[in-house]
Amino acid sequence: MELSTSAAEVSTFDGQRYLIKGALAVNSNNGKIRRVPNIYYDIRNAVNHQKELIAKRKNPSDELCKCHQAKVK
Structure confidence at residue 69 (pLDDT)? 67
Domain-wise residue ranges, the chain: 3-60
Q: What is the pLDDT of residues 15-59, one digit of tens each?
A: 999 999 999 999 999 999 999 999 999 999 999 999 999 999 999
At 68, phi and psi to the nearest 5? -85, 130
Q: What angle do CA 53, 17, 13 make, to 5 degrees?
A: 80
CB-count exposure of residue 68 (10 Å: 0-12, 13-18, 19+):
exposed
Region class of 51: left (phi > 0), else alpha (psi between -120 and 50), else beta:
left
**CB-based contacts of 42, cutoff 8 Å, min separation 6:** 12, 13, 14, 60
